[in-house]
């Protein structure tokens, strides 16, 4: 993955929320069915499902409208209880900066995601994009969906339509605990998946979640669709441009695709259950198996359409 040194990445909607140590009990989530009681790995990756089900489905705070709804991203204020660190991204101006600094790379990726979905949603979904801010934090963060510690991993909060990311997750959890191979395209894949949840929120898809566990549950369909949307963006990433029409990426190659697929494999429910020391129990799945997650990312990458990513339209997940 390389960025175009001439690209203006200053418009990427990323900000640092600072953080707090202590400050309340962290959120805890169950390990997918079949893992040992008390295991911590599976729970790290269930926060998106938890937030979707509690905030969107059944009349929660972040209720979604029907298909085609448009949403205001709010006042632009920082998450409650945190002060922004204005220096972290202050020097992220060009693609050259993104090639040298992972923080600036994050800003470039978010700009690319915004530009892709700003074009794709009206064309394919008859919906305008309200961009989702990405907040990096340390230790813990207070959101409209509740307080989260760094242990829960990256997540999207539908109640405030923002993405939250403790950047230590990738080395500490995805690679260290879940055995992912790592690489510079791992974080872009995760960001694209979380942005996929934002797209689902805008399209009203989150309101379709009724069943919460099992290999063909609505929860699994939601997560696999977000993987498919991540594949859609990856396919088109080299074609995204800044506001002046300058390409953001100069290269997204096969090794990047491999890193994304490896990350999808690492966060499969069956893989998490195995690494947590338990048996594989599909009835406890909430995100889908490694094979399913890789397959739907490939579908998005190869087909490049919202229609192809309709996980509700098939039983062959």
Residue written as token pair 């669709």: 225
Evaluate whether 220 touches 214 at the Cβ level (below 8 Å).
yes
CB atoms within 10 A of CB 134: 27
DSSP summary character for residue 248: S
Which of these, 229, 193, 180, 184, lies nearest to 2 by C-alpha position?
184
For residue 17, the model assigns a pLDDT of 83
Q: What is the pLDDT along the chain (317 residues), one digit of tens a residue?
A: 999 999 999 999 999 987 644 333 332 233 344 433 333 444 444 434 443 433 333 223 333 322 221 122 233 344 443 444 468 999 999 999 999 999 999 999 999 999 999 999 999 999 999 999 999 998 888 899 988 877 777 899 999 999 999 877 766 555 555 555 657 888 999 999 999 999 999 999 999 999 999 999 999 999 999 999 999 999 999 999 999 999 999 999 999 998 888 888 887 888 888 877 778 888 988 899 999 999 999 999 999 999 999 999 998 89
Going by their DSSP bridges, the two strands 155-157 and 2-3 should be labelled as: unpaired
Q: What are the tokens at 75?
A: 């006042």
The pairing of beta strand 146-149 with beta strand 140-143: antiparallel
Which helix (H) or strand (E) covers residue 251, if one does? Answer: strand 249-251
Give the closest residue to 138 by CA, choosing from 146, 150, 147.
150
State residue 40's pLDDT score.
40
Within 10 Å of residue 165's Cβ, how many Cβ atoms?
A: 23
Please give the Cα distance from 162 to 39 (Å, whole number). 28
Q: Residue 170's pLDDT is what? A: 65
Tokens 């259950």 belong to residue: 273
**Looking at residue 236, what is its pLDDT?**
97
Beta bridge partners, 147, equal 142
Element housing 138 (H / E): strand 134-138
Tell me the pTM.
Answer: 0.81
**41 φ/ψ angles, rounded to the nearest 5 degrees:** -70, -50
Report the interhelical angle of 290-303 vs 254-266 (nearest 10°): 150
Residue 148: per-residue pLDDT? 82
Q: What is the length of the chain?
A: 317
Instruction: Return the structure tokens found at 58.
Output: 């059944």
Residue 294 phi, psi (nearest 5): -65, -40
Provide the token pair at 194. 């979380």
């Amino acid at each position: 993955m390389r960025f175009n040194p001439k690209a203006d990445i200053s418009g990427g909607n990323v900000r640092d929320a600072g953080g707090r140590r202590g400050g309340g009990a962290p959120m805890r989530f169950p390990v997918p069915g079949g893992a040992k009681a008390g295991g911590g790995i599976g729970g790290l990756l269930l926060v998106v499902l938890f937030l979707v089900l509690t905030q969107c489905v059944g009349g929660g705070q972040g209720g979604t409208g029907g298909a085609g709804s448009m949403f205001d991203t709010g006042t632009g204020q920082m998450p409650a209880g945190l002060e922004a660190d204005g220096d972290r991204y202050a020097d992220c101006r060009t693609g050259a900066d993104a090639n040298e600094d992972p923080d600036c790379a994050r800003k470039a990726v978010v700009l690319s995601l915004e530009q892709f979905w700003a074009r794709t949603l009206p064309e394919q979904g008859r919906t305008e994009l309200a961009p989702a801010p990405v907040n990096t934090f340390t230790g813990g963060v207070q959101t409209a969906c509740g307080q989260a510690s760094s242990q829960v991993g990256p997540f999207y909060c539908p109640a405030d339509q923002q993405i939250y990311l403790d950047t230590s997750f990738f080395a500490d959890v995805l690679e260290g605990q879940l055995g992912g191979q790592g690489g510079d395209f791992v974080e872009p894949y995760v960001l694209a998946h979380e942005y996929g949840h934002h797209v689902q929120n805008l399209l009203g898809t989150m309101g379709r979640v009724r069943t919460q566990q099992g290999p063909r549950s609505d929860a699994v369909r939601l997560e696999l669709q977000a993987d498919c949307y991540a594949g859609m963006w990856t396919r088109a990433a080299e074609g995204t441009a800044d506001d002046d029409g300058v390409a953001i990426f100069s290269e997204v190659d096969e090794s990047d695709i491999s890193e994304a697929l490896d990350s999808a494999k690492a966060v499969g429910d069956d893989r998490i259950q195995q690494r947590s020391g338990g048996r594989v129990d599909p009835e406890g799945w909430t995100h889908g198996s490694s094979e399913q997650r890789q397959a739907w990312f490939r579908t998005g990458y190869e087909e490049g359409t919202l229609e192809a990513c309709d996980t509700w339209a098939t039983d062959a997940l």
